[in-house]
Structures are given as C-alpha cells and as structure tokens.
Amino acid sequence: MTRPEHDASLADTPIPHRAEPDWAAVGRLPIDGSNEPLVPMSLAPPPIKVFPAYARMGIPGAVDECYVREGVYRRLLAVARSLPEGLSLLVLDGWRPWRVQQYLFETLQATIQANHPEFDDQQLLVRTREFVAQPSTDPSSPSPHLTGGAVDVTLCDADGLPLDMGTLFDEAVPASHADALEGDPGRDDARRQARDNRRLLYHAMHAEGFTNLPSEWWHFDLGDQLWAHYEGHASARYGPAELDTIENRWRRQL
C-alpha cells in the first residue's frame, strides 16, 4: 500500500525505548478530576472502526462497546484522519469495568504461576503487571482503563482487516513490547512491515498527545495517571469513571 510521503516518514522513525512505569509513583500522582462523560466510540465516523474485543471473546462483565472520555474520543478521530488513505484506526477496548480488569489480571497471573512455579510473590506481580494493570477502584489510584483515558487500538486496511503488528492484541510475550521489533530485521520482509506498522501507529497517536505503555504496542493513554507519569505532568485529569446508566442518572437527579 502506497503511503503519502509525510506518512512514510512516520514509518521510518524508530519507536524510542522507554522504561516500564514505576507503578507506585504513578499511583501517587494527584488527580484533578474531570466531568467529561464517557462516550461510545461506535458514534465515530470513518476512518474509525470499533471491535469491542473482550465482549466478543466472552470475557465475564465485558460491555459490547468501547467507551472513552470525550477528549479521548476527539483525539482518536484526529489520529484516524491523519492516517494514510486506505487505513483505519481500529478501537479494541476503552473504559473497562473493574470486574473485567480483575478477570484479566487473575487469569494472566494464574497462567504465569503455572508456567513459572519458581516465581515468588513479587516476581509474579511484576510479570503480571507487565501486561495487565493491577485492579483498583481506589479513587486516588484507579486502574488506567477504569478512567476512560486508556485505549487499546491497532490499524486495519480498507477491508477492515487488522494489519500485521508482529504479535496479536493482548499477546503476553516480550515481542509485544512496543520497541521489540526495532532491531535489524535483516531480510525478513514480514518483520520489517510489522515494525513499520507499529511505528506508524505509535507516532500517529503520539502526535495527538497520547503516551504508550512500553510493554504493549496497542495500549495508549491520555489524561490518566499513566499519561501524566510519562508526560511529566504534576497531575492527571481523569479519575475513575462510570457509565451513565439510567440508575446513575436518576440517583443524581433525585
């Protein structure tokens, strides 16, 4: 697929290496708070596509929609409109109920423990946190996806099929680290193409103010504590969020 010259430059720019987050420091950052609502990404026009991955996988408690804060919604639209012709931004997950976060964390932790019985509790926690944040509803330190500021995305072609990124979404392996393909690919054309696809996604998102979780090429943040940590801000914008259910609406009104 031919890319415009300015877009090709994004694919030519390596993804910088970044250290894994200091989760304790992340959780200590104050949250200003925001009244921005959660909005469904299915409202978005092309070139955005939405595939709520966890609901389609049958994950307990997953919602069949991808909700994000309004500010995140508008920035994602800007990212999608900046992509080369024929490419779309595919949104896989946004706001995530605590129950889903707990399920993902416990399932991955149990899998790692079964494969590495020699790990002590701290090693197990570190390895699990590499790919799934620890579940938390603490208003001062919520899980990123609970805020509506974290989003999982990839790129897809004109037929709606995801581009090759070198690993699958949520594949808990070292190759899923954002910069894992930055070594010399040699004559491996598939690896080179996957690397360039990652670069395009990373830099398009970064240009609109998103930060990336280094261990996951698909995970980006805007406004939450993880974003504030990597951007060097003194505080975050978004704390925990709730869907605007009829029950919540009546509770506020009455």
Residue 171 appears among annotated catalytic residues: no
For the annotated binding site, the residues are: 145, 152, 219
CA 230, CA 110: separation in Å to the nearest integer?
29
Burial class (CB in 10 A: 0-12, 13-18, 19+), 224: buried
Under 8 Å between Cβ of 195 and 181: yes
Q: Which of 36, 130, 208, 216 is catalytic?
A: 216
For the annotated binding site for Zn(2+), the residues are: 145, 152, 219
Residues carrying an active site annotation: 216
